Amino acid sequence: MQDRNQFKLTIVGPGAMGCLLAATLNKQDCPVSILDYKPDRAERLKKAGIQVVSSKEAWTAFPNVTAEPESLSPQDWVIVFVKAAQTADAVKRIGPLIGPGTLVVSLQNGIGHEFTLSKTVKPEQIALGATSQGATLLNEGHVRHAGSGPTTLGLVIHNPEAKDRLISLATLLNNSGWPSQIVEDIYPHIWRKLIVNVGINALTALCGLANGKLPQHPESLRLQKLAVAEAWTLSLKKDIALGLSLEEAHNIVNSVCKATAENRSSMLQDRIKKRPTEIDYINGAITRMGKELGVATPVNEVLTLLVRLNSRLGWKNPV
Ligand code: PAF
């Protein structure tokens, strides 16, 4: 692996997860940049730094933050952590960061990001990942690290050069205390994460509950199980090698609820901040694929419609 002071790594998006990863790497003296699209926020974050608090520690890191892609030459790794709906806009801005050897890694929630990324990046330079890290953006550049867990990475298309770069990235992440592994087939992992998000995100947003509370109420637990069962059935229909029985899928969702008990899911955070949600890339994607493949997904459709409606009403329904 090249000298950690020589490489170039940019994280696109200063949200909860982007800030957490940038601060985690920066804490180990890794030179990291964050690419924002708002110049005023980038300036503030650069000056004030990124503050992280967890149950164990608190620290402030000072990564480079910029809103000018031209100021960043081609990178070794570009890690995309923007909200799913912002991927298309982010992709238009990352051109100056992409060289022949750059690896672009999407660690976003939801499904299908490789198709949006491939409008600017060659598929053989794209990797996808699923992370179980939990983070809450308390306010600008201020993150609570709510729970740690493994990150799994894999290429979209086999490419030996890109694989070497992905191995170096996993080594760097592991050495920085962000446990990571590489797999040959990333799609079962993307689907496992999708199933976790299907079972947690919309329900926490609609009910205003932290992740750990969902299994404690019989109604939210039942809805979670129904939504997860639909996604699981769809994964079988799509021949995804999930390697999980339905019971195991329920157990994984349940254990993520426990491991990130205090966390407000990203969709609940979107609700609180009145930002667009990722519903169309999570439960909405299940409904869309279900319609294409003839798999019934009524619970995911209801969750999708309720989140969309509440979003449109600004999450307050006037009487
Ligand atoms: O979107 C999220 O919030 C996270 O993916 C997860 C794992 C559900 C934890 O909150």
pLDDT (tens digit per residue) in 151-175: 999 999 999 999 999 999 999 999 9
| pLDDT per residue as tens digits for the range 207-240 | 999 999 999 999 999 999 999 999 999 999 999 9
Domain with CATH 1.10.1040.10 in the chain: 188-312
State which ligand 1 atom lies nearest to the alpha carbon of 266.
3
Helix (H, G, I), strand (E, B) or coil at 33: strand
pLDDT range class, residue 319, cuts 50, 70, 90:
low
Which helix (H) or strand (E) element contains residue 153?
Answer: strand 151-155
CA-nearest residue, atom 5 of ligand 1: 197
Q: Which two tokens stand for residue 217?
A: 């109420």
Residue 201 Cβ inside 6 Å of ligand 1? The answer reads yes
Phi then psi dihedrals of residue 41, to 5 deg: -65, -40
Structure tokens at 38: 């708002």
State the pLDDT confidence band at 1, using cuts at 50, 70 and 90: low
The 8-class DSSP code of residue 156 comes to S
Cα gap 81→95, rounded to integer Å? 16
Percent of the chain with pLDDT over 70: 97
Nearest to 127 by CA among 72, 165, 91, 83: 165
Kindly report whether the global pTM for this prediction surpasses the value 0.85.
yes
**What is the CA(101)–ligand 1 centre distance, in A?**
31
Q: Phi and psi of 58, rounded to 5°?
A: -145, 135
Look at residue 119 in the predicted model and tell me its pLDDT: 92
pLDDT tens digit sequence for 40-59: 999 999 999 999 999 899 99
Nearest ligand 1 atom to the CA of 265 is 3
The verdict on the CB of residue 224 being under 6 Å from ligand 1 is no
pLDDT digit string, tens, across residues 5-37: 689 999 999 999 999 999 999 999 999 999 999
Q: How far is CA 171 from CA 162, 267, 314, in A?
A: 14, 30, 43
Residue 263: is its pLDDT beyond 90? no
Q: For the domain 188-312, what is the CATH superfamily, name and number?
A: N-(1-d-carboxylethyl)-l-norvaline Dehydrogenase; domain 2 (1.10.1040.10)
Q: Is the CB of 266 under 6 A from ligand 1?
A: yes
Sign of the four-CA dihedral 282, 212, 229, 114: positive
Contact 15, 164 (CB under 8 A): no
- CB-count burial class (<10 Å; 0-12, 13-18, 19+) for 306: middle
9-184 under CATH 3.30.465.10, yes or no? no
Give 299 Cα–ligand 1 centroid separation in angstroms. 20
Is residue 277 in contact with ligand 1, taking CB distance under 6 Å? no
Q: Is 197 in the pocket of ligand 1 (CB under 6 A)?
A: yes
Domain span(s) for CATH 3.40.50.720 in the chain: 9-184
Q: Distance, CA 201 to ligand 1 centroid (Å)? A: 7
Q: 10 Å Cβ neighbour count for 240?
A: 18
pLDDT > 80? residue 4: no
Give the residue, by CA position, lying nearest to ligand 1 atom 3. 265
CA 280 – CA 153 distance, rounded (Å): 23
Whether ligand 1 lies within 6 angstroms of the CB of 256 is answered as: yes
Q: Give the DSSP H or E segment for 185.
A: none
The mean pLDDT of 285-295, rounded to a whole number, is 98
Which one, of 172, 36, 192, lies nearest residue 129 by Cα? 192
CA 310, 312, 318, 319 torsion-angle sign: negative
Hey, whose CA ends up nearest to atom 10 of ligand 1?
Answer: 265
What is the band of 101 on the pLDDT scale with cuts at 50, 70, 90?
very high
List the one residue out of 82, 109, 83 whose CA is nearest residue 94.
Answer: 82
